[in-house]
Amino acid sequence: MSLFLPPYAAEPPFAHGQAPRTGVLYCNLGTPDTPTTPDVRRFLAEFLSDPRVVEIPRLIWLVLLYGVVLRVRPAQSAAKYASIWSAEGSPLKVWTERQTRALQAWLTQRKHQVLVRYAMRYGSSSIPSQLDALKAEGATRVLIVPAYPQYSATTTASLWDAVYKWAATVRSIPELRFINHYHDDPHYIAALASRVSHHWLAHGRPDVLVMSFHGVPERTLHLGDPYHCECFKTARLLAEQLGLNASEFKVTFQSRLGRAKWLEPYTEPTLIEMGKAGVKRVDVVCPAFTSDCLETLEEINQEAREAFLHAGGQSFHYIPCLNDDEAWIAALGEITQQHLMGWPTQSLPDPQALAASKAAAHALGAEV
Ligand X SMILES: C=CC1=C(C)c2cc3[nH]c(cc4nc(cc5[nH]c(cc1n2)c(C)c5CCC(=O)O)C(CCC(=O)O)=C4C)c(C)c3C=C
Query: How far is Cα 244 from Cα 355, in angstroms, rounded to an integer?
Result: 58
> 94-132: b or e for each residue (b if 16 or more CB lie within 10 Å)?
bbbbbbbebbbebbeeeebbbbbbbbbbbbebbbeebbe
Determine which residue in the list 92, 142, 244, 285 makes contact with ligand X, applying CB under 6 A: 92
Q: How far is the CB of 279 from ligand X (least distance, A)?
A: 26
Using rule CB under 6 A, residue 227 touches ligand X = yes
Stretch that binds ligand X, among 16-24, 135-143, 167-175, 286-294 (CB under 6 A): 286-294
Q: Which is nearer to ligand X, 174 or 225 (CB)?
A: 225
88 labelled ligand-binding:
no
Bridge partners of 210, per DSSP, are: 250, 284
Q: With CB under 6 A as the contact rule, which of the stretches 6-14, 183-191, 197-205, 289-297 interacts with ligand X?
A: 289-297
CA-closest candidate to residue 283, choices 326, 237, 244? 244
Q: For residues 307 and 327, give the distance between their C-alpha atoms in angstroms, rounded to a whole number.
A: 32
Q: Select 40 or 196, whichever has its Cβ closest to ligand X.
A: 40
Closest to Fe ion by CB, 30 or 174:
30
State in angstroms the smallest separation of the CB of 134 from ligand X.
23
Judge contact between 254 and 285, C-beta under 8 A. no
Is residue 293 within the footprint of ligand X (CB under 6 A)? yes
Among 150, 146, 148, 149, which Cα is nearest to 162's?
A: 146
Judged by CB under 6 A, how many residues of this single chain contact ligand X?
22
Task: Tell how far CA 99 is from the center of its chain.
Answer: 11
- Give the residue among 59, 27, 112 at the shortest CA–CA distance from 291: 27
The candidate with the shortest Cα–Cα distance to 147, out of 345, 342, 328, 300, is: 328
Q: With contacts defined by CB under 5 A, name the span among 4-12, 134-142, 179-187, 225-233 that binds Fe ion.
A: 225-233
How far is residue 315's CA from residue 311's CA, in Å, rounded to a whole number? 11
Which residue, 141 or 214, has its beta carbon nearer to ligand X? 214
Site stretch for ligand X (CB under 6 A), options 107-115, 171-179, 199-207, 292-300: 292-300
Cβ closer to ligand X: 44 or 107? 44
Q: Is 199 annotated as a binding residue?
A: no
Question: Sign of the C-alpha dihedral, residues 78, 129, 164, 103?
Answer: negative
Instruction: Tell me the closest approach of the beta carbon of residue 290 to ligand X, in angstroms.
Output: 9
Binding site for Fe(2+), by residue number, is: 214, 295
Which chain residues interact with ligand X by CB under 6 A?
29, 31, 53-54, 73, 77, 90, 92, 148, 152, 154-155, 214, 216, 227, 255, 257, 288-289, 293-295
Which chain residues interact with Fe ion by CB under 5 A?
228-229
